[in-house]
Structure 1
């Protein structure tokens, strides 16, 4: 019924498996290695076409310093933080409340409403480009951090609600019923009973949504046009000049932009894994 563990297969299969893993890992890391090497090269090294070799002159400190002193990279990073953090908090808070209502309250249209949240995840986001842009312009939210935050909260609500509802529905109904019998209000039940039990799920969801919003490029390009609001993903593309591209600075900026999600993942790794495996051994 279940696949045979790789350790119990033949020696040749085990060797092929380990070799294939290393090959896949190297191929997956090649673009990142190329970007890291480019961020340490000099302009002359790049102009000579040395893209994959060892840099003739290491410019690590110079390039990473220059990306902050000669470009608005610090502003782009600040904008991303000011957009991503409120959007994550809003999306997770709303989805947790909605997930609790859909999981533990019986009302007419419950299944239809839940299906609506699920169906929203299958809508290609590209077809929303013109309606969303026109909506933000009509509401006076175009090229503002508020507009981008509200959009991300709304756009992530479907997946987040699906995620949280599936965790909350597995909580014992007896705990909630016992609190209701004691006369505890629904808000206190949610705050003191449900939230502590789904804390790992909230941590895992927060890491995922932070990564999604931080790495968003499409909507940052559609809904923002000024450096005062532009997040780091769109800001990196703005570093490319009209006639000349400073690839060493673009690469250094890309590495800097990738650090916050990586740091957050490792900082929340224990909670992230606990959230994803919550309930996996139930029953």
Structure 2
């Protein structure tokens, strides 16, 4: 066994602790500010030690700031987007990975190439297309856009997982009389559960926190998801940092809850992908 160098070990822990503290410092500042009163923040400054503890900022952000309505809008967009996108991606990945489809590699590369385009150059075409289709300024338009731009990446990831499943499993199921639907639902899909869980957590976070496409296809304030609503909150309560911080904390709760719920599967999916 090699002998450990105490100085190197101490230096490693000091460096890691410093980096972790620097990363957590803004989050701690936001959370602490959210529980402070407006008078405390205005009198002593945002960076001062807290001298009060109150939930007034959360109540004001929830009611006057429209955080409740924004959270509902975000969930109405995020949940259908994640379900529809992963359902379509799993079907397309199954077909591209388990069957000899002509030009399947070209199709996969084209789907992936769509995600390499800078979204800024597509803002005007997407907005015009949503107007032509009569979907502009509706949550349906935002769901369609999110599904369209996420489908290629999720298909590419699931394709890698499904392609690594041994062909003998599929052959045994076919010999037993399983059709394509049974093979997909009962064999392939359960084996890709870690990948689906990992992608669900990532997709939920990406869609829930999206700002660009929301302000592109939406105009009415009562239809805005939580991230654009935070911009409006900063304009409405420009000097009330406790309300803005409380709105940020409220907006972060769903994504944190989803990640904690799928943490086990998320780590398993990443580890499985690393082994492959």
Q: Secondary structure at the match of 1:85?
A: helix
User: Residue 112 of structure 2 contacts residue 152 of structure 2 at CA under 8 Å; is this kept in 1?
Assistant: yes
- Of 147, 160, 172 in structure 1, the residue corresponding to residue 166 of structure 2 is 172
Q: CA deviation at 1:118?
A: 2.1
User: Residue 67 of structure 2 contacts residue 250 of structure 2 at CA under 8 Å; is this kept in 1?
Assistant: no
Runs of 4+ aligned residues of structure 1 deviating over 6 Å after TM superposition are none
List aligned pairs for 1:1-283, cutoff 5 A: 10-48=5-43, 50-59=45-54, 61-241=55-235, 244-278=238-272, 280-281=274-275
CA distance in 2, matches of 1:135, 1:232: 24
CA distance in 2, matches of 1:8, 1:223: 61
| Segment of structure 1 superposing worse, 209-218 or 174-183 | 174-183
User: Residue 76 of structure 1 contacts residue 227 of structure 1 at CA under 8 Å; is this kept in 2?
Assistant: no
Q: Secondary structure at the match of 2:222?
A: coil
Residue 4 of structure 1 aligns with which residue? Answer: none
| Segment of structure 1 superposing worse, 31-40 or 187-196 | 31-40
Q: Secondary structure at the match of 1:222?
A: helix
Q: CA, structure 1 residues 93+52, in 2 after alignment: closer, same or farther (shift >3 Å)?
A: same
Q: CA deviation at 1:200?
A: 1.4
Q: CA, structure 1 residues 8+18, in 2 after alignment: closer, same or farther (shift >3 Å)?
A: farther
User: Residue 233 of structure 2 contacts residue 244 of structure 2 at CA under 8 Å; is this kept in 1?
Assistant: yes
Could you say what the CA RMSD is over the residues aligned between the two structures, in angstroms?
1.8
CA distance in 1, matches of 2:200, 2:250: 21
User: Residue 226 of structure 2 contacts residue 251 of structure 2 at CA under 8 Å; is this kept in 1?
Assistant: yes
The C-alpha deviation readout for 1:33-85, integer Å capped at 9, x for no partner, is: 221122122222333351112122222x2211222232211110000001000
Q: CA deviation at 1:95?
A: 0.7
CA distance in 1, matches of 2:72, 2:237: 28
Instruction: Point out where structure 1 has 5 or more consecutive residues left out of the alignment.
Output: 1-6
Q: Secondary structure at the match of 1:241?
A: helix
TM-score (norm: length of structure 1)? 0.91
CA distance in 2, matches of 1:133, 1:245: 33
User: Residue 214 of structure 2 contacts residue 225 of structure 2 at CA under 8 Å; is this kept in 1?
Assistant: yes
Instruction: Point out where structure 2 has 5 or more consecutive residues left out of the alignment.
Output: none
TM-score (norm: length of structure 2)? 0.94
Q: CA, structure 1 residues 191+30, in 2 after alignment: closer, same or farther (shift >3 Å)?
A: same
Indicate the structure with greater helix content.
Answer: 2
Q: CA deviation at 1:102?
A: 1.2
CA distance in 2, matches of 1:170, 1:247: 50
